[in-house]
Amino acid sequence: MANIKHFKDKYDVVVIGGALAGLAAALTLAKKGKDVLVLEQHNLPGGIATSFVRGDIEIEATLHEMMSIGPKECPLKIRDFFDEMGVDIDWLRVPDAFRFVDGKTGTNVLVHPGTHGDFEIPAKEIADACGDKDGTIYTKVLKLLNLCNRVYNSVNILSVQHMSKPMMLLKHPDFVKTAGYSAQQVIDTFNLPKNVVDVLAAYWIYVGDTLENLPFTVWAVLMADYLGYGSYVPRKFSHEMSLKMAERAMEMGVQVEFGTRVDKILVKNGHVEGVRLANGEEVNARYVVCSAYPDKAYTSMVEPLSEVPQGAIKFVNAKTVGVTCFSVVLLLDKDYKDLGIKDYSTFYAPKGMDLKEIFDEYSTPGPYNYITSICTNIANPEATPKGTCIYSITALPKPEGWFGVTEENYEEMKLKNAEYFIKMESERLGINLKDHILECVIEAPCTISHYTGAYQGSIYGYMHTMDDHIVARLQMSEKENFIQGLSFAGAHQISGDGMGPAITNGRKGAKIV
């Protein structure tokens, strides 16, 4: 019997990694008529956009909520992308934005989003909960959120449209005027009470940096998207996205291979020539979109290493790797209503909102005192069989807190955090969660690292800081293509972390190609 050749003699583009960013890149390139090969080391697509099964019940592994979806009648860029690519996702709108609870001051507020970029509802709820007596707080919060929305709209335009600085100042004055300032600096100009600022700061955990060091641009985009348009989840969890993106890519002619790890990116005379697989087989292509972090690619994947420019090493050394994840996912034996759980998403600071203190604690192995909890069934009632629900409790520590993990102390560190989280949430909810646990899954930074191979277990790419500003990233992006034919797609690309941004980052990686 004749040997059947598995790979073509040559591809236009090889995409390393079949997570959301890699699949978005593959779809974008296929739409442009390119011959694309996706190589994924796992046996399934999606990376951390996946699910797992416990007790015959499928459970979401990581997704809390997605931004940039919007309703059908007012679609935002991620929904538009899926529609354009023919990827049909059944989106469910999350009913609320978040509840914020401060255990030290007693602040407790439930915030609902607007629907079409309107902020009256969240502004009023925040103001009322924080003691607004004459409408002054409401007016200031609304003014701040509308500023966020104008910056958000500018970022969406400027990320795809080149514009001279004078024209930028003329058409996008708020973006230009606030670009050099941190979120804290801009918020301070509104002279809001601390309890209001604490509520507005709740989402900081989703960008992984304190307001003092976080560019206002990034915070503004986050606030405008979540509070102006609301968030969404796929009915069949994040793995629905992964599977449908992979399926659609294959329908468009993309070759997708699972269980196939890329060890080396082959470079000659400054240009990509192909990749070498773990089994030694080589695949020819003049372009590669890489989902692995540049830290890994430039130090151990490019062959020969002499082809890595010194500028690339300086680039990765200048970056700060973003946060990782510690999450306790519980399958509970009662409906959330019977347990008295009322909110989809809650941010809880049991010891108060000292962000520096919280962030410093995130540099340790825990336990942690700023968490977000999610009750999946409130947005997706059919997520589990009737009479049960899913409840997850998550912190996003920095990777260095877990560098001291060994085989001997791993279980102890993992269980100490999980028990602390369950006790903390039990006390807040007035429920003994332990009495209702059918299944408990603990996701530690080591889990992320082992499952995805992500550098240092990070899920957040490079931290958005005032020293590594998204505006500078946009301006420098073309100068950071250190090896011709090599681009990157993942949380480490310009847009940073999150499943929505991952898709945007994949499109960016494809655009560079």
Percentage of residues of the chain with pLDDT beyond 70: 97
Mean pLDDT of 174-198: 96
Res 3: pLDDT:
53
In terms of pTM, does the model score above 0.85? yes
Q: What are the backbone angles phi and psi of residue 236, rounded to the nearest 5°?
A: -105, 35
Res 75: pLDDT:
93
pLDDT at 367 over 80: yes
| Residue 1: pLDDT band with limits 50, 70, 90 | very low
DSSP 8-state class, residue 388: -
Res 475: pLDDT:
65
Mean pLDDT of 90-105: 97
Res 59: pLDDT:
93
CA atoms of 466 and 180, how far apart (whole Å): 8
Mean pLDDT of 473-498: 82
Tell me: the pLDDT tens digits for 109-133? 999 999 889 999 999 999 999 999 9
Res 478: pLDDT:
63
Q: Which residues contact 463 (CB under 8 A, 6 or more apart)?
A: 208, 209, 319, 320, 321, 322, 323
Tell me: the pLDDT tens digits for 41-54? 999 999 999 999 99
Mean pLDDT of 363-390: 96
DSSP 8-state class, residue 47: T
Q: How many residues does the chain have?
A: 513
Q: Which residues contact 90 (CB under 8 A, 6 or more apart)?
A: 234, 235, 236, 240
Q: Which residues contact 86 (CB under 8 A, 6 or more apart)?
A: 248, 251
- DSSP string covering 119-187, please? -HHHHHHHHHHTT-SSSHHHHHHHHHHHHHHHHHHHHHHHTTS---HHHHHHH-HHHHHHTTSBHHHHH
